[in-house]
Structure 1
């Protein structure tokens, strides 16, 4: 795990110059609000077209799973779309589903032999996941993946949209 650099920044995920950015998508993959809407707007129609094909072939993307598309007009090469869980108090497998978002995204990046990936704060917006719990799961699942898998990844960045998430991730990564 020493060779993979874990970073946290405050910024806009659509501006990240990495091999793949991760989209906090919805099950339909057809765009939405928050990060999902921003990625679709910035990336242009190519992303939506590939998402429509995936949706037609497999009926969308189940919660916790991930699919990969072009990045269209974004500076990244790919977008990995993953569907985070809606928070219902933590008793409907939300922690495991959220961890699967990170694991499955990292697995796709490794399959494609990518060197860098950037994650948003999955499920912490309209899906209502408590930010601290989500940050712990994100970092924990990422470190666990790195310990258990050989990967081409050299850099994993958590891109925080707000100060609160930035402070949480910074603190957790320093532990």
Structure 2
């Protein structure tokens, strides 16, 4: 049975088949977690990313994971949260597509264990409650195709919010 694990800590220290990297469309060093990943991956990661085509919001690209305890990085470009205004529905659909694209690419490559940050909830400002709900809407029905899907949150407060959402809306999943 597949486990969807919610945890907090340093995502860059956890072993898995793949790590999801929030990305810029040109797969260049970004802010937050992306910056930390590129710092560890160095010139080899930058060179691998230079070979990739542009990545639009909701799409994903795969590279080796240089300098990290995972085999692969799956880069995905997340949407910017617009405070739930008239464009909020589009951003939610795009965020869901990020998860779908990552899972599709991981399955195609045979990656059985994946690490996710809270996509969109960092520098792109999605509230954790909304990011958690959208993520779990995609991850729960797709989990059977993997050994383990781990969402590693940056803070205990974020972890508490994701667990609250999981318990309230997805109690059967975990």
Report the TM-score, using the length of structure 2 for normalisation.
Answer: 0.89
Q: Which residue of 2 aligns with 1:123?
A: 120
Please say if 1:137 is aligned against 2:131: no
* Separation in 2, partners of 1:101, 1:76: 20
* Separation in 1, partners of 2:43, 2:137: 34
- Secondary structure of the structure 1 residue equivalent to 2:70: coil
Q: Which residue of 1 aligns with 2:9?
A: 11
Q: Note if contact 2:63-2:73 (Cα within 8 Å) is conserved in structure 1.
A: yes
- Secondary structure of the structure 2 residue equivalent to 1:44: helix
* Separation in 1, partners of 2:43, 2:158: 30
What do you get for the CA RMSD once the two structures are aligned?
1.3
* Separation in 2, partners of 1:116, 1:14: 14
Matched residues, number = 165
- In structure 1, the gaps of 5 or more residues are none
- In structure 2, the gaps of 5 or more residues are none
Report the TM-score, using the length of structure 1 for normalisation.
Answer: 0.89
Q: Which residue of 2 aligns with 1:72?
A: 66
TM-superposed deviation, 1:13: 1.6
Please say if 1:165 is aligned against 2:158: yes
